[in-house]
Homo-oligomer: A and B are copies of this chain.
Amino acid sequence: MSAQPLADLRMIEGSAFVAAPLGGMTLAQLGADVIRFDQIGGGLDHKRWPLAPSGESLFWAGLNKGKRSIQVDLRSDAGRELVEALVAAAGIFLTNFPARGWLAYDHLKARREDLIMCALTGNPDGSSEVDYTVNPATGFPWATGPRDLAVPLNSVLPAWDVAMGELACIGILAAERHRTRTGDGQLIRLALSDVAFAMVGNLGRIAEVQIGGQDASRDGNYLYGAFGHDFGTSDGRRVMVVALTGRQWTAVQETTGTAEAFRSLESVTGHDLSSEDGRFGARDIIAAVLRPWFEARTLDEIRAAFEGTGVSWGPYQTFRQLVEEDPRASEENPMFNTIEQPGIGSYLMPSSPLELTAAGRVPARPAPALGEHTEAVLADVLGLAGAEIGRLYDDGVVA
Produce 1/0 per residue, A119-130, CB < 8 A to B: 000011000111
Complex alpha-carbon distance, A324 and B139, angstroms: 12
Q: How far is the CA of A358 from the CA of B143 in the complex (A)?
A: 38
Across-interface contacts of A245 in B (CB, < 8 A)? 44
Contact of A211 among B53, B156, B244, B322 (CB under 8 A): B53
In the complex, chain B residues whose CB is within 8 Å of the CB of A205: 50, 319
A195: chain B residues at CB < 8 Å are 353
Total chain A interface residues with beta-carbon distance under 8 A:
153
Bound-state Cα–Cα, A226 to B131, Å: 14
> Is the C-beta of A136 less than 8 angstroms from some C-beta in chain B?
yes
Looking at chain A's contact residues, the main secondary structure is mixed
B326 pairs with A137, CB closer than 8 A = yes
The answer to whether the Cβ of A321 comes within 8 Å of any Cβ in the partner chain is: yes
Interfacial residues of chain A within 18-70, with CB under 8 A of chain B in the complex: 18, 22, 25-26, 30, 44, 47-53, 57-59, 61-63, 65
Interface status of A349 (Cβ within 8 A of chain B): yes
Question: Roughly how many angstroms separate A209 CA and B318 CA in the complex, as a whole number?
Answer: 10
User: Could you say how many copies of this chain the assembly holds?
Assistant: 2
Q: Is A187 an interface residue (CB 8 A)?
A: yes
B354 adjacent to A170 (CB under 8 Å): yes
Interchain CB contact under 8 A, B316 and A190 = no
* Complex: A299 Cα to B201 Cα, angstroms: 25
Give the CA-CA distance A122 to B316 in the complex, in Å: 16
Which chain B positions have C-beta within 8 A of A142?
316-319
B139 touches A170 (CB 8 A): no
Which of the residues B156, B167, B358 comes within 8 Å of A353, measured between beta carbons?
A: B167
Bound: A202/B58 CA distance, A: 9
Q: CB-defined interface of A158-187 with B at 8 Å, one 1/0 digit per residue?
A: 110011101101110111111010101111
Known: A2-B182, A207-B50. A26 touches B230 (CB 8 A): no
A166 CA / B354 CA spacing, docked (Å): 11
Name the segment of A83-91, A215-223, A285-293, A376-384 touching the other chain: A215-223
| Given A197-B322, A210-B347, 11 new contacts (CB under 8 A) | A49-B204, A50-B207, A62-B207, A133-B312, A136-B239, A144-B144, A158-B203, A197-B326, A209-B323, A211-B345, A215-B319
